[in-house]
A = this chain, B = another copy of it.
Amino acid sequence: MDEKKLEQILTNVKDGTLDVEEAVQRLRHLPYEDIGFAKVDHHRTLRCGFPEVIYCPGKTSEQVATIFQKLAETGQDIIATRADSSLCDDVKRLTNLDGLRYESVARMIVLEQKPVESPVGNIVIVTAGTADMPVAEEARVTSHMMGQNVELICDVGVAGIHRLLGNVEQIRRANVVIVVAGMEGALASVVGGLVDCPVIAVPTSVGYGASFEGLSALLTMLNSCASGVTVVNIDNGFGAAYAASMINMKITGAE
């Protein structure tokens, strides 16, 4: 099913000439491709214009490469998360796709076939410490690939509140803020109290001992007294960026 057909269906649903049930029926028969070990799905990309996403852990190099090849044929952008550099090398070797790029801090493989010309809106990513950078970078690259304006403010943990206060004006200009913090994870609450926009909190596994690999930060963020804070899984920079981009797109009407 080509993109046009899909758009047609969705347009019809929106203008009422097709009922949703019927649309679901049609959609069900279509846009995934069965390649044995995976069902490659073009559904959401087609609807949202977002890049395709591959979660790498548990997949062999061959599997990742095959999925890359299949997805690349649609002309879409592709991002692959939690990839080490040798996996990127394998994919390059097995596919010969031009333009594969390895984002080393974010540990992502990126194929940018349709570079965004004018990123929209304003997402600000804030980290508590330098060690939170890989997760923050995963969020930054993801946001960028989804066509968002994104800024990164690093190392403003709450134990030196003046560093945060010194950057509060920039943070307040955001449509959505992503807060990335390990150890005690308190930054989300403080930021949540300083801004009037949604805050998406990402606990990281940074820390030791009673941080229990991110559990401490996760609990802190879930218990935040600041309204407007929601939480994603430990180290899930991608998920935070995805949700933030959805919100930012809708706010800017870029959807």
Show the binding face of A for B, using Cβ within 8 Å. Answer: 13, 19-21, 24-25, 27-29, 32, 36-39, 41, 43-44, 47-48, 53, 55, 57-59, 63, 82, 128-133, 154-163, 165-166, 168-169, 172, 175, 183-186, 189-190, 192-194, 196-198, 200, 203, 205-236, 238-240, 242-243, 246-247, 250-251
Instruction: Kindly list chain B residues whose C-beta atoms are within 8 Å of the C-beta of A200.
Output: 230
Given contacts A158-B189, A229-B243, contact A59 B130 (CB under 8 A): yes
State how many angstroms separate the Cβ of A77 from the closest Cβ of chain B: 15
Instruction: Kindly list chain B residues whose C-beta atoms are within 8 Å of the C-beta of A158.
Output: 158, 186, 189-190, 193, 225-226
Complex-state Cα separation, A214 to B131, whole angstroms: 23
Instruction: Kindly list chain B residues whose C-beta atoms are within 8 Å of the C-beta of A231.
Output: 222, 230-232
Q: In the complex, are the beta carbons of A220 and B220 less than 8 A apart? A: yes
* Residue contacts A-B, CB under 8 angstroms, 22 given: A20-B168, A29-B166, A38-B154, A39-B163, A44-B196, A55-B129, A57-B131, A129-B225, A158-B226, A160-B193, A161-B161, A183-B224, A184-B220, A210-B219, A210-B233, A216-B216, A227-B238, A230-B239, A230-B240, A231-B231, A231-B232, A247-B250
State how many angstroms separate the Cβ of A10 from the closest Cβ of chain B: 9
Instruction: Kindly list chain B residues whose C-beta atoms are within 8 Å of the C-beta of A39.
Output: 154-156, 160, 163
State how many angstroms separate the Cβ of A83 from the closest Cβ of chain B: 14
Q: In the complex, are the beta carbons of B224 and A242 less than 8 A apart? A: no
Complex-state Cα separation, A161 to B219, whole angstroms: 20
Q: In the complex, are the beta carbons of A225 and B157 less than 8 A apart? A: yes
Q: Which of B196, B207, B223 contacts A184 (CB 8 A)?
A: B223
Q: In the complex, are the beta carbons of B37 and A155 less than 8 A apart? A: yes
